[in-house]
Structure 1
Amino acid sequence: MSLIPYHPREGREIVLRHRNAIVVRDPSSQRLEIRGLSECPTCRQPLRSSSPDRQFDSARHHDSFVDPNYFRMLRAGHHSVRAEHPPSSPIRRFVQPILATPQPAVFEDTQDVEFISSTPAVQEGSRIRREAFSPNYFKTFFVEEKELGRGGKGVVLLVRHEIDGCHLGHFACKRVPVGDDHAWLEKVLIEVELLAKLSHPNLVSYRHVWLEDVTLTRFGPSVACAFILQQYCNGGDLLQYVIGEQPKETTKEQLKAQMRRKSKGQLEIPRDQFASQRLLSFEEIFSLFKDITSGLAYLHAANYIHRDLKPSNCLLHREGSGMICLISDFGEVQSEHMVRKSTGSTGTISYCAPEVLRRDSVGRYGNFTTKSDIFSLGMILYFMCFGRLPYRSANTINEELEDIDALRAEITDWQGFQDERRERPDLPSKLYQLLKRLVALDPSQRPSANEVLAAMKTESTVDSVPRGRSSSPPVGLHNRRIQNLDSPVPPSTPVPGSSSTAP
């Protein structure tokens, strides 16, 4: 038996596949055709068969695929979609993208882009050009199912991609009101386009970004909004996974109790008050931590710094009996070696490295680096081990109730990882050694993400545990799953197309 290359009929290229539906592109006409999928596009075997010897496993063989340029193709051909009578073949609809149409020239050089979510002062002539908008793109190609989350910058929706009633997959869509005169929006679009080129099993992938006028209230005016389409993860986030579903409302009595705990030097809320909090086993900690570290290593190898690593930005996705963890929310990502221009810190600081919260003699904050990301990675590991952070001023459940000034002072004065070993004697000593290195006060003492991955490699051969695409072997407390970081490690593997990795 030998493998031979398969060439699709008529040279059509598959640009999207979801369950029993595919979208193909005709290279000669540039049309997109939506078809029912009755046979495998690779081996040409029928997907449904009555033969007892060929049972189709939908969980395994219905993996979705989306070409990186698919949603751009839809956008390009959005205004030229023609309603045609459906032919007798299983083609559902025709979409003809104008691939040669140039993108609106509304962006400038990306070298000075720092925060993609920072809002610089509005400058004269910075209005968003109307050619950059895609009217009715959302309504044409998506159906809103429910709200996944809401924050100060907008709302995240679970949407179903649909064309002519054909279900083509679920996605998460962030809708951010931007008004009509925000120069920072250009930076958002540029950064999303750059990050869309990154592809790793442990990074949430960006699919598309576009602008559209939206009426957010029944009687209000339309508002320009940025739509950021990304991969949907169905398992919630790491924060919810550890602490469970906790009430967000805080009563006066709870606030008073919180103030009393702070005055007594106690840490956050006692664990026994977290009714649904789970204590993660070493196996779970190891597996989730390896996923996060793998995604971060890839990001660093591509010369990006995340800057906002925290459990709520680590999303979980379940596939069958497996689960993988993916890094999300790249709203604070910056290129490596970029000098920090802002005068303060945006968002949550609970997982920030101390050096980025300190000012120098002229009042400038420290730069974010790959090493500051590693500190945040260490704090995530700390949280997975103990279900809390080592700061009295931190609030795991309600971050908005944190006293930022008090928390900043506590982080910058923190003396490092010390006595928590006694709280979890079930965890191996090498895990504590790793944690101590990750949150070292001296950034130069922190390992790189690739060094952490190398240290986590097992020296014994054991069976793997099913965890989807990012499976890790089971962990026994007596197996040497974590090497000493001081021992030599093999050279790291760079990101494809990169000649070097981040330190």
Structure 2
Amino acid sequence: MEALLAADPKQIGPYRIVGRLGAGGMGQVFLGLSPTADGVAVKVIKSPLLDDADFRERFALEVVNLKTVYGARVARFEGAGLDDEPPWLAVEYIEGPTLRQYVECSGPLEVALAAVLGAQLADGLSKIHEAGVLHRDLKPQNILLSKDGPKVIDFGLAKVLLDRDHQVTEPGRMVGTLAYMAPEQVRAEQDLQASTDVYALGATLAYAVTGRPLYPGPGGIVLAHRISDPVVQPDLTGVPKELVTLVGLMLAHEPTARPGVKVVHDQLIALAKASGQTIATIRRRLIKATSAPPPPIAVPPELADPLADPENVKDRPDPVPEAPKSAPASAAPPELDVRWLADELRTKYARDAGF
């Protein structure tokens, strides 16, 4: 997380803004606090795009998608102000690094941990697809590792399955993150199915256990041609033998050759159990390995009364000492300093994705 800039808003809707969480293609994301000090991630359209009707429509569709999807593996929708200037939306603030940040800092996951992670993400995709929505941008940067397990975030590129009557993306325009896009998505085909998200999950799992992309080398148009060429196979070097068959099927060039989300989920669960550990044990190990104790959130002065909750006295912070009686009556009360929050979270929450 980063400290606010002078030009940043101090209030968005009902939320007091205390820091910057990151930015995506069309939005800036802030850390906000509700009147009861609940943390939320607040996304607003970037200033240069405020006059772009297509971006406003896409933003509104993101709100619709967030209201539609649900489940333990999806960031919870909190509110939106589409008629405000700038328009905004808010989801729960999730404590934890992205999967990409974790792998970059701590290295690849072992097989059992990756299998449970993949099964949980398959659960999330199942809920998303049941709601009639494709994510279209599943990748390590859009997976947050919280104390409750992984959460799928950023529905800015999501679309309704088989929705040909309402299409924001221009025909022939490629959308998504190239390194995790299926061949049909690279070719900008419009009739995408759940198998497109299955491919992205396979690419994400391959990254989680190897720490590198499927197609090493140059990106851009060269990478797009390699992904869309059925002769060029993704590089699964380093993927453990227990996972390589399943991941290879998930990355099949033809969408119909890929397994369904439920098949992926069940095979990953079976693979995790083959380690001799219970799923509950592996899940606890995964959470312990990938999550850290959440830092405190800055509390507004009006909510900082340590006597507000008489229970758990030993867990309450010491009361702030009163000012000396000799202090001038005109002295202004101290301002709340949230710079410590930015310093503690800067490296952990810097993200290159929208949410």
CA distance in 2, matches of 1:202, 1:419: 27
Secondary structure of the structure 2 residue equivalent to 1:465: helix
Alignment of 1:99-138 (within 5 A): 138=11
Determine what percentage of the aligned residue pairs are the same residue.
25
How much has 1:419 moved relative to structure 2?
5.8
Q: Work out which of the residue numbers 230, 237, 258 in structure 2 matches 1:446.
A: 258
How much has 1:192 moved relative to structure 2?
1.2
User: Greater Rg, structure 1 or structure 2?
Assistant: 1
Secondary structure of the structure 2 residue equivalent to 1:225: coil
Could you say which residue in structure 2 is the equivalent of 1:225?
A: 86
How much has 1:386 moved relative to structure 2?
1.0
Query: Is 1:377–2:246 an aligned residue pair?
Result: no
Indicate conservation of the 8 Å contact 2:142/2:152, yes or no. Answer: yes
Structure 2 length as normaliser, TM-score? 0.67
How much has 1:170 moved relative to structure 2?
0.6
Alignment of 1:163-178 (within 5 A): 167-177=36-46, 178=49
Q: Work out which of the residue numbers 231, 241, 246 in structure 2 matches 1:434.
A: 246
Could you say which residue in structure 2 is the equivalent of 1:354?
A: 183
How much has 1:466 moved relative to structure 2?
7.5
Query: Is 1:408–2:279 an aligned residue pair?
Result: no
Structure 1 length as normaliser, TM-score? 0.49
Could you say which residue in structure 1 is the equivalent of 2:30?
A: 157
Q: Work out which of the residue numbers 93, 96, 110 in structure 2 matches 1:235.
A: 96
Secondary structure of the structure 2 residue equivalent to 1:457: helix
Task: Deviation per CA, 1:335-384: give whole Å up to 9, x if none.
Answer: 112347432113421111112223xxxxx745322111111111001111
How much has 1:311 moved relative to structure 2?
0.6
CA distance in 1, matches of 2:157, 2:246: 26
CA distance in 1, matches of 2:235, 2:186: 21
CA distance in 2, matches of 1:436, 1:211: 42
How much has 1:287 moved relative to structure 2?
2.3
Q: Work out which of the residue numbers 72, 93, 103 in structure 2 matches 1:201.
A: 72
Indicate conservation of the 8 Å contact 1:307/1:368, yes or no. Answer: no
Secondary structure of the structure 1 residue equivalent to 2:31: strand
Instruction: Note closer, same or farther for the CA distance 1:281–1:466 as it changes in structure 2 (3 Å cut).
Output: closer
Query: Is 1:344–2:205 an aligned residue pair?
Result: no
Indicate conservation of the 8 Å contact 1:465/1:471, yes or no. Answer: no
Could you say which residue in structure 2 is the equivalent of 1:465?
A: 281
CA distance in 1, matches of 2:30, 2:62: 21
Query: Is 1:325–2:150 an aligned residue pair?
Result: yes
Secondary structure of the structure 1 residue equivalent to 2:155: coil
Instruction: Note closer, same or farther for the CA distance 1:140–1:374 as it changes in structure 2 (3 Å cut).
Output: closer
List alignment gaps of at least 5 residues for structure 1.
1-135, 214-223, 245-276, 359-363, 395-401, 473-503
Say which structure is richer in helix: 2
Instruction: Note closer, same or farther for the CA distance 1:452–1:343 as it changes in structure 2 (3 Å cut).
Output: same
Indicate conservation of the 8 Å contact 1:199/1:205, yes or no. Answer: yes
Instruction: Note closer, same or farther for the CA distance 1:155–1:188 as it changes in structure 2 (3 Å cut).
Output: closer
How much has 1:193 moved relative to structure 2?
3.1
CA distance in 1, matches of 2:283, 2:17: 30
Instruction: Note closer, same or farther for the CA distance 1:390–1:457 as it changes in structure 2 (3 Å cut).
Output: closer
Aligned residues: 268
Could you say which residue in structure 1 is the equivalent of 2:107?
A: 278
Secondary structure of the structure 2 residue equivalent to 1:407: helix
How much has 1:417 moved relative to structure 2?
4.6
Indicate conservation of the 8 Å contact 2:111/2:243, yes or no. Answer: no
CA distance in 2, matches of 1:466, 1:441: 32
Task: Deviation per CA, 1:220-275: give whole Å up to 9, x if none.
Answer: xxxx312110011111211111112xxxxxxxxxxxxxxxxxxxxxxxxxxxxxxx
Structure with bigger RCO (C-alpha 8 Å, 6+ apart) = 2
How much has 1:210 moved relative to structure 2?
0.5
Could you say which residue in structure 2 is the equivalent of 1:35?
A: none
Aligned-CA RMSD value: 2.9
Query: Is 1:288–2:85 an aligned residue pair?
Result: no
Indicate conservation of the 8 Å contact 2:32/2:42, yes or no. Answer: yes
Secondary structure of the structure 2 residue equivalent to 1:411: helix
CA distance in 1, matches of 2:13, 2:190: 46
CA distance in 1, matches of 2:102, 2:287: 19
Aligned partner letter, 2:103? V
Task: Deviation per CA, 1:390-409: give whole Å up to 9, x if none.
Answer: 21345xxxxxxx4x211111
Indicate conservation of the 8 Å contact 2:80/2:90, yes or no. Answer: yes
Could you say which residue in structure 1 is the equivalent of 2:56?
A: 185
CA distance in 1, matches of 2:25, 2:255: 31
Instruction: Note closer, same or farther for the CA distance 1:456–1:160 as it changes in structure 2 (3 Å cut).
Output: same
